[in-house]
Structure 1
Amino acid sequence: MRLRKKPWVKDEIVSYGRLVVLDPEKNRGQWKEWFGNDQPIHIELGTGKGNFITTLAEQNPSVNYIGVEVREEVLISAVRKAANKGLTNITFLWFNITKIDEVFAEDEVSRIFLNFSDPWPKSGHAKRRLTHTEFLKRYKKILERGQEIHLKTDNEKLFEFSLNELSNNDFRLKNITLDLHNSKFEEAKSVMTEYEQKFVSRGMKIYRLEAVYQ
């Protein structure tokens, strides 16, 4: 873990105890033991300020949630939300997603959420997109077969790119929508990220899909 911009963040993060795991590699293969139960584990990669994952954790106490975020200036907002809600089925990792398979063991994760990831629009930056084949290889190492990746984005080109990458990497696509908030998927649009709330208020389309690891 590297402190980059705000020296006070580390002290505050440490003060939240089990809400933030500072050395997550040590829990690889043992996350259910860490939570103290056999509940499924759902992770959000790029959790931002945490509205999405803390809302899910509040609504679904029978699921354990882990939010992964490398930017400490936004992660602290997510941790505060979880603390204020008194959640016990959630924790956060201040960690770089590129090393996600060093944190979770094979079949340890039951769902992955990718919400409004950086689209990296330049073609030369394609490998940085969180749905690039190289990232999907990492996800396949940790995701149980038959389980899913759920993706939301406001970026049409990233959505098209993701459809192709997922289809070419052993994922079966379902529940695809090009305009989530004018669709039939009521549950999927009931919990929003901060970005999503802003985009929807502006009348922007939200693209969404579910991808099953076969």
Structure 2
Amino acid sequence: MLRALVTAGFLLVAALVLWASFILGVETSAGTLFINLGTEIVGIVITVAVVEWFFERRRLQNRGRQLAGNALHAVEHAVWVWQGGPRQMETDEVRGILHAVDGDDPVADFTEGLLLNIGTRARRLLSNDPEAVSAVPGFMNGLEHLARLSAIRDGRDRMPSRKVADILDEGTSDLAKALGKPTERHLASLIRFRDPSLTSQERRHFGGNHQSSLGGFRAEPTGFQDD
């Protein structure tokens, strides 16, 4: 707002200077001086405005890429909690795991909470930060897919696992395109440690020494073990 007011102020000054040059007469030395001064001010204002526009666009792009990266990281974490796999996964591995999701794969309550949070945050970004979102091509499409997860608990029945996977897959694909990451699907059969069972979801989410709500205390081994 302040930049716009300053720009408008300089343009007003330039207009007054040019108007004064016509009042004095463009053929006079004073009129010529005022014309040159007015056009110089207009040129400076236009140059500054263009530079400011580029800086603002770059700032929005940087913010948009940061937000897109955060969204993709949240998806990767939720998929890891839900389906397992390596702790650090590339987008092609995430898509490969999601493609292999079975309709019978359970979604634990806390996993559903992670997915709900992703959907809610995506919807909030679309509403509250549209300029940064639209500054990165493809980011808006990814958020629109993920925003559907905000309704994961709206119905009487659970959202089917296959539908959840499709939403995540579409969102991951668009976010990957926006960030220049791989978009191909990795073969799920080549991805290690996939295990969507409820106990494994709980272990990945809460850690090894969590008091399980699914069947008592489970102590996971840490460090070296004897054979």
Normalising by structure 1, report the TM-score.
0.25
| Higher share in strand | 1
| Higher share in helix | 2
